């Protein structure tokens, strides 16, 4: 009798679980499916859009290649990817160098440096927005991608250095010591012992370095004024606000074209940075 | 006797060298480090030759912010002045290091040791100063791309720089705390500030808590041992995080559109509910924003919680099973405390993230709908309001003052949290 009721409880519990998960799957997939649907729908407006298009068309994807005075989809795409990858690479280099020094060496100014990093990590980079706006205009650095990359990289340093230093700290010093006895130099220990062991955290730093610039609107919209120099967030935002909803289907095609590769890479690399997040982020 | 002499003599070279290096390089020459001494001398000469103009102009400009239109541009002068301050600070640091170097090498001589040659001290630098070498590129970038702009923004808050005090026709002046006083005394500023701050706090608390609760809930749900297709559910639940956030927000902006959005035309009409003014009525916009942020934010918590769940020791549950604990009791007294304890830093990050979550507010509805008698939109949080003040209405000083208030607010909360977590204690 008891076994029977336990079995029934289990069925009910799993039943409810599956129901909730299926419902959530619909909620998660609906906006994504809707975007895919819109991108294949004929016409410009969304009024007649259906989830599964009756007459699917590639017209909107082809429209992405046709540039106008204010529409340069593939320039935006390339700008976004270029800026994000440059920021990612530079952040990983600068962050791991700084974190290595902070984790393994005791030098004058170390404690003050760490406190400065801690403080800077709390001040939102947004605080610099006004200065960036005023100065970029005066120095004629408007539309400069290099400036943007340097600002993004600088913004990544405090927080990521803290995470990375924490991760380096958790790697036993004995490893360095025995390598040093074998005659390895500091740089060699850094590159061949610590960096490979810190791979999960390197992945986290790299992901932040890539997704931060990719999604940034505030700072990039302040610096980039020429439509050709835009990144995707600014370009796509202007596309749908300027034409009063008349170009949503083109937007949908553009959104799919960037989201699909990013999501695939994200899911493939997920395992790497999840380890870093759970090991580094939760210890605090 | 002999002892005394050596002690007396011990500091002689060190002191003389340190004293002589008041002019950088001379102390090193005294220590017979010719190349190093000459190098220091040349650097000093170049420093003063190269930056004397900057110091002259910079400090004059920093104090006066210009005296004549159209010759002077206050903002330029302010920027130049701050750069002069930074260059001076770096100069003072090197000056200190120079004296210390002369003193240390003099000490070596006092102890009867030979002073390292240039070549030796160069290789010495590579070894002993290795950490500085590693830190300097990052710190240098940080100073010019983060610290300088932040200092500049903060300085602007104490000027009256706005549309009416702009170059080339006008100059700006230092006004002290007047802008801060205005925020709290001028009626329209005060009411806008407090309504924006109020919504910022509600937004931060509700949006973050929603994401956290949903994330933990689904992690526990999928973690059930007898659930099937775990991999599939996990991929689905991570998707909102995998797709770039700005894309999803813009998609939602279209879906929530009052007249043609799918939420109104497909879903609500399917259930026979009248169209809801999502983008034109502030309260509905707020509900939409919170829902969307829940959708966007939960996967991150879900992923981390899943990792934490897998690290809970199994014997804890076995003990509970022996005591005949129910599933809910197990969750309440084992799982949840474990998750919360492990994830405090990440949970706090959620709150600071949403406090500064400019993208969703601005991209979804531009902080709108517009409100009567207010310079901010109905759903503007502090950061999006500052953005608009800067870009749309050229209220730079006001925006800068708000930036300081915002930073103080964030730092106060973050410090309070960091004092409790142990990464601060460790260092």
SS3 of chain B? CHHHHHHHHHCHHHHHHHHHCCCCCHHHHHCCCHHHHHHHHHHHHHHHHHHHHHHHHHHHHHHHCCCCCCCCCHHHHHHHHHHHHHHHHHHHHHHHHHHHHHHHHHHHHHCCCCCCCHHHHHHHHHHHCHHHHHHHHHHHHHHHHHHHHHHHHHHHCCECCCHHHCCCCCCCCECCCHHHHHHHHCHHHHHHHHHHHHHHHHHHHHHHHHHHHHHHHHHHHHHCCCCCCHHHHHHHHHHHHHCCHHHHHHHHHHHCCCCCCHHHHHHHHHCCCCCCCCCCCHHHHHHHHHHHHHHHHHHHHHHHHHHHHHCCCHHHHHHHHHCCCCHHHHHHHHHHHHHHHHHHHHHHHHHHHHHCCHHHHHHHHCCCCCCCCCCCCCCCCHHHHHHHHHHCCCCHHHHHHHHHHHHHHHHHHHHHHHHHCHHHHHC
**φ, ψ for residue B116 (rounded to 5)?**
-60, 145
Residues A46, B237: C-beta atoms closer than 8 Å: no
From the CB of residue B270, how many other CB atoms can be counted at a distance below 10 Å?
A: 8
CB B258 within 8 A of CB A244: no
Q: What distance in Å separates the CA atoms of residue B179 and residue B162, rounded to the nearest whole number?
A: 11
Top mean pLDDT of A85-94, A275-284, B90-99, B153-162 is at A85-94
Q: Which DSSP state fits A113?
A: H
Instruction: Kindly report the backbone phi and psi dihedral angles of residue A170, in degrees, each rounded to the nearest multiple of 5, phi listed first.
Output: -80, -5
Q: Is the dihedral of CA B26, B27, B28, B32 positive or negative?
A: positive
At A77 the pLDDT is 94
Contact call for B135 and A263, based on CB within 8 A: no
A237 touches chain B (CB under 8 A): yes
User: Is B403 in Cβ contact with A101 (below 8 Å)?
Assistant: no
d(CA A64, CA A73): 6
Could you tell me which of B23, B227, B93 has the C-alpha nearest to residue A21? B227
| Residue A283 in this model has a pLDDT that exceeds 50 | no
- Peptide bond just before A33 cis, omega within 30 deg: no
Per CATH, is A72-283 categorized as 3.30.70.260? no
Contact assignment for A122 to B79 by CB distance below 8 Å: no
Q: What DSSP assignment string belongs to A43-86?
A: SSSSTT--SS-SS---HHHHHTT---SS--HHHHHHHHHHHHHH
Instruction: Assess contact for A204 and A273: CB atoms under 8 A.
Output: yes
* Test the A interface: residue of B126, B145, B350, B397 with most A CBs within 10 Å: B145
ipTM for the complex shown: 0.90
Distance CA B305, CA B288 (A): 26
- Residues A32, B75: C-beta atoms closer than 8 Å: no
- Hey, where are the domains in chain A? 2-57, 72-283
Cβ distance of A28 and B236 shorter than 8 Å? yes
pLDDT at B420: 67
**What is the per-residue pLDDT across A256-271, written as a single tens digit (0 to 9) for each?**
999 999 999 998 888 8
Question: Is residue A175 within 8 Å of A192, Cβ to Cβ?
Answer: no
Q: Does A36 reach chain B within 8 Å, measured CB to CB?
A: no
Name which of A20, A35, A154 is nearest B146 (Cβ-Cβ). A154
Mean pLDDT of A73-102: 95
Question: In this structure, is the dihedral angle defined by the CA atoms of residues B354, B355, B356 and B362, taken in order, positive or negative?
Answer: positive
- For residue B109, the Cα-to-chain-centroid distance in whole angstroms is 47
What pLDDT was estimated at residue A269? 84
Distances (CA, A) of B371 to A200, B61, B111, B166, B367: 47, 40, 77, 28, 10
The domain segmentation of chain B, as residue ranges, is 2-128, 181-426
CB contact under 8 A, B135 and A98: yes
Q: Is the pLDDT of residue A234 over 90?
A: yes
Position with higher pLDDT, B416 vs A83? A83
What's the pLDDT tens digit per position in A141-174? Answer: 788 899 999 999 999 999 899 889 988 998 888 8
- Gap between the Cα atoms of B427 and B352, Å rounded: 23
Q: pTM value? A: 0.87
CA dist B411 → A133, A268, B157 (Å): 24, 36, 18
- Residue A83: pLDDT above 60? yes
Distance (Å, whole) CA A275 – CA A167: 11
Cβ neighbours, 10 Å, residue A17: 16
CB contact A9 to B (< 8 Å): no
- Cβ distance A194 to A168 under 8 Å? yes
Kind and range of the H or E run holding A160? helix A145-169
Indicate the DSSP class of residue A228. G
Is the predicted pLDDT of residue A59 greater than 60, yes or no?
yes
Compute the distance between CA of residue B196 and CA of residue A33 in angstroms, rounded to an integer: 35
Q: Look at A130 and B399 and tell me if their CB atoms are within 8 Å.
A: yes
Per-residue model confidence (pLDDT) at position B3: 43
Position A50 scores a pLDDT of: 67
Say whether residue A282 is in contact with chain B using an 8 A CB cutoff: yes
What CATH superfamily is the domain B181-426?
MetI-like (1.10.3720.10)
Q: Tell me: the pLDDT tens digits for A189-232?
A: 999 989 999 988 999 999 999 999 999 999 999 899 889 999 99
The whole-number mean pLDDT for each consecutive block of 10 residues of chain B, a chain of 427 residues, reads 46 82 84 84 88 83 78 82 88 86 83 72 68 89 89 90 77 86 89 93 95 94 88 93 93 87 83 86 94 95 89 80 79 86 83 91 90 84 92 88 90 75 49
pLDDT at A246 over 70: no
The strand pairing partners of B159, in sequence order, are B174
User: Any residues with CB less than 8 A from the CB of B290 and at least 6 apart, and which?
Assistant: B203, B206, B207, B210
Number of other residues whose CB lies within 10 A of the CB of residue A71: 21
CA pair distance A87, A148, nearest whole angstrom:
9
Contact yes or no for A125 and B246 at CB 8 A: no
* Window A:149-208, CB contacts with B under 8 Å: 150-151, 153-155, 157-158, 161-162, 166, 169, 186
Q: What is the dihedral of CA B377, B379, B381, B382, to 10 degrees?
A: 20
Tell me the β-bridge partners of B174.
Answer: B159
Peptide bond into B369 cis (omega under 30): yes
Q: Is A43 on the interface with B (CB under 8 A)?
A: no
Burial of A212 (0-12, 13-18, 19+ CB in 10 A): buried
The answer to whether B211 and B298 are in contact (CB under 8 A) is: yes
Q: Name the average pLDDT for chain A.
A: 86
Tell me how close the Cα of B313 comes to any Cα of chain A, in angstroms: 16
Is omega for the bond preceding B70 within 30 degrees of 0, making it cis?
Answer: yes
């Amino acid at each position: 009798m008891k076994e029977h009721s336990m079995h029934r409880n289990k069925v009910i519990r799993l039943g409810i679980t599956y129901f909730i998960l299926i419902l959530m799957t619909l909620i998660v997939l609906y906006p994504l499916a809707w975007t895919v649907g819109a991108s294949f729908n004929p016409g410009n407006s969304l009024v007649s859009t259906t989830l599964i298009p009756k007459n699917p068309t590639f017209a909107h994807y082809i429209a992405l290649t046709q540039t106008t005075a204010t529409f340069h989809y593939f320039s935006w795409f390339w700008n976004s990817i270029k800026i994000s990858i440059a920021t990612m690479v530079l952040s990983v280099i600068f962050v791991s160098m700084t974190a290595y020094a902070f984790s393994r060496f005791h030098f004058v100014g170390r404690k003050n440096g760490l406190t400065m990093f801690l403080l800077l990590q709390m001040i939102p980079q947004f605080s610099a927005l006004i200065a960036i706006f005023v100065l970029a205009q005066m120095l004629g650095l408007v539309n400069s991608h290099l400036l943007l990359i340097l600002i993004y990289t600088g913004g990544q340093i405090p927080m990521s250095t803290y995470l990375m230093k924490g991760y380096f700290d958790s790697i036993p010093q004995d490893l360095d010591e025995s390598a040093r006895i074998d005659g390895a130099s500091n740089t060699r220990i850094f590159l061949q012992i610590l960096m490979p062991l810190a791979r999960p955290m390197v992945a986290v730093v790299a992901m932040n370095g890539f997704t931060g610039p990719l999604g940034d609107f505030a700072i990039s919209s302040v610096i980039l004024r020429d439509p050709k120099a835009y990144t995707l967030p600014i370009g796509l935002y202007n596309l749908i606000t300027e034409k009063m909803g008349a170009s949503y289907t083109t937007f949908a095609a553009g959104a799919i074209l960037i989201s699909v590769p990013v999501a695939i890479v994200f899911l493939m690399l997920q395992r790497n940075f999840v380890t870093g997040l759970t090991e580094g982020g939760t210890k605090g | 006797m002999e002892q005394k002499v050596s002690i007396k003599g011990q500091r002689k070279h060190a002191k003389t060298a340190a004293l002589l290096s008041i002019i950088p390089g001379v102390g090193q020459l005294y220590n017979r480090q010719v190349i190093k001494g000459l190098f220091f001398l040349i650097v000093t000469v170049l420093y003063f030759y190269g930056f004397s103009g900057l110091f002259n102009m910079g400090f004059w400009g920093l104090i006066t912010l210009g005296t004549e239109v159209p010759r002077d541009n206050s903002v330029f002068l302010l920027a130049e002045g701050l750069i002069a301050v930074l260059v001076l600070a770096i100069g003072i640091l090197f000056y200190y290091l120079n004296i210390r170097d002369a003193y240390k090498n003099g000490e070596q001589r006092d102890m009867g040791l030979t002073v390292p040659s240039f070549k030796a001290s160069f290789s010495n630098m590579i070894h002993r100063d290795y950490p500085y070498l590693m830190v300097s590129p990052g710190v240098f970038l940080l100073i010019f791309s983060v610290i300088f702009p932040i200092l500049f923004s903060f300085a602007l808050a104490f000027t009256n720089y706005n549309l009416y005090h702009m170059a080339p026709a006008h100059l700006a002046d230092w006004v002290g705390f007047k802008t801060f006083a205005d925020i709290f005394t001028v009626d329209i500023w005060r009411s806008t500030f407090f309504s924006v701050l109020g919504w910022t706090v509600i937004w931060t608390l509700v949006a973050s808590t929603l994401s956290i609760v949903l994330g933990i809930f689904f992690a526990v749900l999928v973690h059930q041992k007898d659930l099937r297709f775990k991999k599939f559910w996990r991929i689905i639940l991570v998707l909102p995080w995998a797709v770039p956030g700005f894309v999803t927000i813009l998609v939602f902006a279209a879906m929530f559109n009052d007249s043609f959005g799918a939420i109104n035309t497909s879903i609500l009409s399917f259930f026979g509910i009248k169209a809801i003014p999502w983008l034109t009525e502030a309260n509905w916009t707020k509900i939409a924003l919170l829902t969307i942020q829940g959708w966007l934010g939960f996967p991150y918590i879900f992923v981390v919680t899943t990792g934490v769940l897998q690290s809970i020791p199994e014997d804890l549950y076995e003990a509970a099973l022996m005591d005949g604990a129910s599933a809910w009791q197990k969750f309440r007294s084992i799982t949840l405390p474990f998750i919360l304890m492990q994830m405090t830093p990440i949970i706090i990050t959620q709150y600071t993230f949403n406090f500064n979550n400019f993208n969703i507010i601005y991209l979804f509805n531009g902080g709108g709908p517009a409100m009567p008698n207010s310079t901010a939109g109905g759903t503007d949080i502090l950061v999006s309001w500052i953005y608009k003040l800067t870009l749309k209405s050229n209220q730079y000083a006001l925006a800068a003052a708000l930036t300081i208030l915002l930073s103080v607010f964030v730092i106060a909360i973050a410090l309070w949290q960091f004092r409790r977590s142990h990464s601060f204690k460790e260092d």
